[in-house]
Structure 1
Amino acid sequence: MPRQLKITVDYNVCVGNAMCETFAPNTFGLNDDRQSYVKDAAGDPEDTILLAAENCPVTAITVEDAETGEILFP
């Protein structure tokens, strides 16, 4: 069973270039302000979500293990 993830987007940093949505479209979307938001933390496989977070040009996405609190990215 895949681990549960807690994903947050820092709206003070997000510039809305949509790389996260490109890499993990089932997990991320863009709101009316063209900033990323989490649609479904389990929408894509963990490695796909981490790839999306890693490709954010401003490191606005944090991914952690929801059970242990371990930071997976950044």
Structure 2
Amino acid sequence: MTWHLHIDSDRCIGSGMCAGTAPDLFVLDEDRSRPVSEHIPEGDERALEAADICPMLAITVRDADGKEIAPRD
């Protein structure tokens, strides 16, 4: 099973916190972050942490059923 990563480019300010937390999952591209791949292995806690620490809450992680699992409250 896989999870789906999404970054809302309208909200992203390019802080790089996600890329610093999980450099193999996120990269900075033209002053904005983007996922290296939209699909990642299920259970990758670094994706959840990156979504939680994003200052603009621009990252969402969804499970295989499409349920939003991050950012967490």
TM over 0.5: yes
> Is 2:63 the counterpart of 1:56?
no
The normalised TM-score by structure 1 is 0.84
User: Contact 2:61–2:70 (CA<8 Å) still a contact in 1?
Assistant: yes
- The runs of 5 or more residues in structure 1 that have no matched partner are none
**Whole-Å separation in 2 of the counterparts to 1:42 and 1:26:** 10
- The runs of 5 or more residues in structure 2 that have no matched partner are none
Q: Once the 2 structures are TM-superposed, how far is the Cα of residue 42 of structure 1 from its aligned partner? A: 2.5
Q: Percent identity?
A: 32
Aligned counterpart for 1:35 among listed residues 32, 37, 42: 32
Give the 4+ runs in structure 1 shifted more than 4 A: none
Q: Once the 2 structures are TM-superposed, how far is the Cα of residue 10 of structure 1 from its aligned partner? A: 0.5
Higher strand share: 2
The normalised TM-score by structure 2 is 0.85
